[in-house]
Structure 1
């Protein structure tokens, strides 16, 4: 007798379009192949990339989207992780080339999985809090300490600081002795950013360079631009000679830069780089390079706070996407597992 295929609940993109197209369905439970880990998902964070996937605006996406999660190892054919290990998983094709985390289970490449605890009984933080870390903190850490190479005592500007990635960057940088200047479009969020360690906060928008003068009239050692193409050329003018600019987000939209002429618009002596988290898991950017476990322990030990801005149930995914798309998230939105 042929065994009955196992099924699971998953949130499926029925057709590209609005949040109402995210529908919960019964689908086959995935089976891990060697080199992959089967994870029972306990919680997952939402990301702006998933809005674009849901709309059909991303180059690649699967019917089950979702680029990160935290959960428990249920099967690992290669034996890299013992059963019941608590892990975080991010990227590695999740939601893009393999079905992602909007489900009860997912399979992630071994190289894109990070252990957090040996068992659920000794978790460093609750699941909904652990779900804040994988994509946002791994990306923030890499932007800060690999692309920008920030150091204690330097001045860092973070544009788009109230996003989940911006908050992660502000937390990490300030905890390492970097002087952070943050920007946001929402003045009511200034106190939150100051509490996270920002030295000062400015309103994101026209006239920003004139409002960002440092005490000695110098420029910034580093700029992390999460607003994107609409502010990139301006950000180049805010970096000192020998300083660094990293582009890592598109909160201002995906519209490309028109008529960019490096001869006239590129700042001399400024190092400009880009970081996109889909590269995680490659030989150049292994997830093991990111001390995610140590970052979680920093929060568990009270060095800084990292909590979800909003937590939704699995069956509230449509409302969660509406909140994120409407710019109401004010940080990381987390979905509890089914």
Structure 2
């Protein structure tokens, strides 16, 4: 099969097209003919050698058709989504014509949506849904700040939070992106930057903060919450450097909750993929309640260009790759 192989860590030329053996059926796994896959920042970090693990074939998610499933958990020919479970990290991932994923990390996603649109859903929407409705326990009418909202993850979170009846404030680094977020239904946009808690009128009144900027802003995010409010750290748009000299005694607001979510836990006993209503999310997209169309669609032969766009922060949403 045709695959995109990570020959070395480094620049775009590290991604090389090669013919490698197709994955063979194994008990407890599903072999999937890949129709499309999303592009993720994690794969850029893997390519550069900045991630703890990186498989020869990158790619942490895909949508496609079941080719084989020895255990019978999914029928041959079924439409499925697969994400995490070691894909692209410890086992060959989705940058190929076929992949083999653990049964625990595969979900049915029957839909008439085009493959490109289906591919914009799995990892991004599963992660955003879990952060909002598990970690933050977001309820209708609550106030939510999403920091880093024009990322693909941020836009998915805005989509679902607004659809759930939350009052959403969103941050971005550019005023030119306000209109995109306002079209998704946010109440207001703010320019992302340091010490936002000192200039946000809602500071000490927010019910929840979803922080996708990361370690550089999470302490500031905690300062915006009301007593009993929750913050979820789930992204690193501001870089991977750790929180510098973090001392909760001196820096953390009292009575607030700090939570973390990393999508690498999907498929583990405490985080079954079946907990995420991917089928319902796909239906909401098809019926127009969620605006999940990909921002850019690339052919399989154009993976380097997709990575270049991502690296230049020009994605402006979720990018996907489709097989011809």
Superposition TM-score, scaled by structure 2 size: 0.98
Q: In the alignment, what sits opposite 1:219?
A: 205
> Quick one: distance in 2 between partners of 1:305 and 1:258?
37
Contact 1:124 1:296 in 2 (8 A): no
Q: In the alignment, what sits opposite 2:218?
A: 232
> Quick one: distance in 1 between partners of 2:113 and 2:126?
17
Pairing partner for 2:134 from 135, 140, 146: 146
Shift of 1:211: 3.6
Contact 2:204 2:224 in 1 (8 A): no
Q: In the alignment, what sits opposite 1:131?
A: 119
Point out the more displaced range, 167-176 or 199-208.
199-208
Shift of 1:199: 0.8
The reply on whether 1:337 has 2:320 as its aligned counterpart is: no
Q: In the alignment, what sits opposite 1:273?
A: 259
Structure 1 segments, 4+ long, off by >3 Å, are: none
Contact 2:265 2:271 in 1 (8 A): yes
Superposition TM-score, scaled by structure 1 size: 0.94
Pairing partner for 1:285 from 271, 279, 284: 271
> Quick one: distance in 2 between partners of 1:205 and 1:269?
25
Contact 1:220 1:243 in 2 (8 A): yes
Pairing partner for 2:307 from 310, 315, 321: 321
For residues 1-338 of structure 1, the aligned pairs below 5 Å read 8-117=1-110, 123-214=111-202, 218-337=204-323
Q: In the alignment, what sits opposite 1:5?
A: none
Deviations 1:43-69 (A, max 9, x none): 000100001100111111101010000
> Quick one: distance in 1 between partners of 2:34 and 2:201?
46
> Quick one: distance in 2 between partners of 1:43 and 1:290?
20
The unaligned stretches of length 5 or more in structure 1 are: 1-7, 118-122
Q: In the alignment, what sits opposite 1:120?
A: none
Shift of 1:210: 3.8
- Aligned residue pairs total 324
> Quick one: distance in 2 between partners of 1:218 and 1:229?
20
Shift of 1:219: 1.9
